[in-house]
Each structure stands twice: as C-alpha cells, then as structure tokens.
Amino acid sequence: MKYFLQVLLVALISCFFCGHVNAGTAKCMNTYSYCYGKLFNCPQGCPNQCEVDCNTCKPYCPCDKPGAVCHDPRFIGGDGIKFYFHGKKNKDFCLVTDSDIHVNAHFIGKQGKGRDFTWVQSIGVLFGSQQFYVGARKVATWHGSDDNMHVQFNGADINIPSGDGEMWTSRRATCRSNIGVRVVPITEEESRIHGYGITEDDCFAHLELSFKFSSLSNSVSGVLGQTYVPGYRSPVKIASDAGHGGAEKYSTSHLFATDCAVSKFGSRGRVLRLRIRDGCL
C-alpha cells in the first residue's frame, strides 16, 4: 500500500487526511461525489501513482499540476510554468511564506557532477503559533506496505488510523486549501537513468508534494509561493526545464525557522487545529 497524506489548511483549523492507495489505481474519497469509492486506473503519464479529481471523476498526475513539488525538485508554479530548484543537500529552504502560513522544506541528496542531486525529505508548516511536520523515514530497501511517513503536530507524533473512513480529529473543521504529501523512493531504474548512484543502504525515500492555495496574499513569497503573486513573471522560459537561482535568499536555519531573507510570516496569526482521516478527498 502507498501512504498519501492530504493537509487541508484553513482560517481557524487544519485537516489532515491519509489514504492507502494501491499502485496503479486511485479512488475518490469525497463522500459527496457521485464517484465516491470508485477505483480508477492511473493515466499513462503516471502509471504507478495518481489521484482522482472528485469533481470530474477522472484520474490525473498530481506532479503535473500547478503547486507540485516532485522528483529532483521539479516545481510547477502557480502560473503553470515548470522549473527546478535544487538547493543543497542537508539544508532547509523556504517554499512558501505569507502573513499566516510558512512552509519550509529539508533537502537530502547525493553529491553529483556540478551540483547536488537533491530531494525533499520533509516539510515544516507553521500556521499561527503551531507547527506541523511530515517527513519520509530513512529506508534502505523499499517496501510499499510499510509506514514510511512520520507525522507530528506541535512535536507530538500522530498515529494515522488505517481503513477507509477512519478518522482522527481534534475539533470541527471547514477546509479551504490543501497540501498533498506522498512518500516515494528512488528506484534502481531512476538511479541508473539519471546517474544518482543510489546504493543498497539508502533508497532516499522522499516526499512528493502538491499544494493548492485559495487565500494567499499578494505579498506571498518563497521558492514556490512567489509564483502565486498576480502578474508574476517567471524567469524560466516555458518548457525549458531551467532552474531558479538565488538559493541563498530562500535558505533558512532550520525546518521551523522563519529567518529566510524573503520571510513574510507573523504579521497575522491564526490558530491551527487538525483532523486526520484515512482516505483521500
């Protein structure tokens, strides 16, 4: 089974959903959708892992949608333009920073020719005065049935319930935005094709992320956040697969720090609460 966590951030509350998805299929877990619970085969572009749009009842590749952070970090900006931000291994960088939400990412990797090969191992989300952490556990040999995701809320481990429809909740919630999180390994084939040099002692399990925002301010910043500013013009040419520079201005001292040069966090605080349910919306 594959673990998928969906973090839904809202004005006074946050919700966290986790689902078990068999490789090659996905299902809608929105009980209000007419295709609720129906299994769909993943499309050709992502034959092993996909999601279902419960409005259209069609499967799609989340790594190809705006707000995606996947692979050797490849981003799809809010403007729909693809770019790479490799950062540095064993360092933390600000992905999104706004007045009431701040998202940092910890990068892991291996030294390559000319630059580090890097992946996002974990994210730290600050929302008001509270903190949420989700990370990929270090794995030598990948077993998809294992729980390879570590989740914490305000420093306390969260045990995600298993079984469709099961839920852990702190209080009531109304959800507006979300962060989808999935743990994946570097496969032998990927390592061979890209020359990553992955060895048997570490398959570099990492996160694939999909952000969906509905209430960011016009001053939002960060590697990904800046692409949601109205009128933002990407320095990357469409379909060029180029990278964004300026890593130093997004660098932060630790996963829950707000000291990156572009930080906007803290001007308007909110309270964070959460709900966890097995099954993806």
**Residues in a beta bridge with 151:** 134
> Distance between CA 239 and CA 125 in Å, rounded?
30
Q: Pick the closest to residue 87 from 126, 116, 111 (CA basis).
A: 116
* DSSP one-letter code for 72: T
Q: How confident is the model at residue 43 (pLDDT cuts 50, 70, 90)?
A: very high
User: What percentage of the chain reaches a pLDDT higher than 90?
Assistant: 38
SS3 227: helix
**Do β-strands 14-21 and 275-278 pair in parallel, antiparallel, or remain unpaired?**
parallel
pLDDT at 5: 58
What residue type is assigned to position 12 of the chain? Answer: L
Residue 250 clears pLDDT 90, i.e. is over it: yes
Number of domains in the chain: 1
pTM of the model: 0.83
Q: What is the mean pLDDT of residues 121-145?
A: 87
Tell me: the pLDDT tens digits for 116-131? 899 999 999 998 788 8
- Of 138-142, 158-162, 187-191, least confident by mean pLDDT is 158-162
The answer to whether 164 touches 4, Cβ cutoff 8 Å, is no
Q: Compute the residue count for the chain.
A: 281
Domain range for 102 = 2-278
Angle at 23 between CA 27 and CA 1, to 5 degrees: 90
SS3 50: coil
